[in-house]
Amino acid sequence: MRLAVEGEPIICHPISDLWEFIENNLVIVPTGANLTTIKYSWLKEKFRELPPDASLVEVLRYTRAYLLFLISVTIFADPSVATVPTRYLQFFEYIKEAGRYAWGAAALTFLYRSLGGKFNFFIAISIII
């Protein structure tokens, strides 16, 4: 997988109305009180197979759902949960622009944060050398 280290920074912006945001991007909204995350099982159930006669709008919707799932299990993987933060969906509102982000830099940042800041750069260098 080739992830750009240079590009636009990945910054999550506040979403004032999660229901409307999800509806605008995926058309269907998960049931339940907590819309800050979307369950993998819900994504799989609703977007597992693209209808054969899908319109361009449907293709874009399914693509957004797939990319949302994909980044949550690869770039921003957290094996302790089976959900993806809804805020990540904002990076795929305009799919053509998704490639301009510095996904590699975001992945490295996420990895470092996941390690809890316990990773010592100098130890890593001595191991590599």
State the helix-helix crossing angle for 40-47 and 56-73, rounded to 10 degrees. Answer: 150
Q: Indicate whether 15 pLDDT > 90.
A: yes
Pick from 2, 9, 1: which is nearest to 105 by CA? 9
Answer whether residue 25 is part of any domain: yes
Q: Is residue 122 assigned to a domain?
A: no
How far apart CA 54 and CA 52 sit, in angstroms, is 6
Is residue 121 in some structural domain?
no
Place of tokens 């622009």: 97
> Is 104 within 8 Å of 12 (Cβ atoms)?
no
Residue type, 41: S
Number of domains in the chain: 1
Q: What would the mean pLDDT of 38-43 be, rounded to a whole number?
A: 94
Asked if residue 45 is part of any domain, the answer here is: yes
In a domain, residue 118? The reply is no
Name the residue range of residue 73's domain: 18-100
**3/73: higher pLDDT:** 73
| pTM, full prediction | 0.78
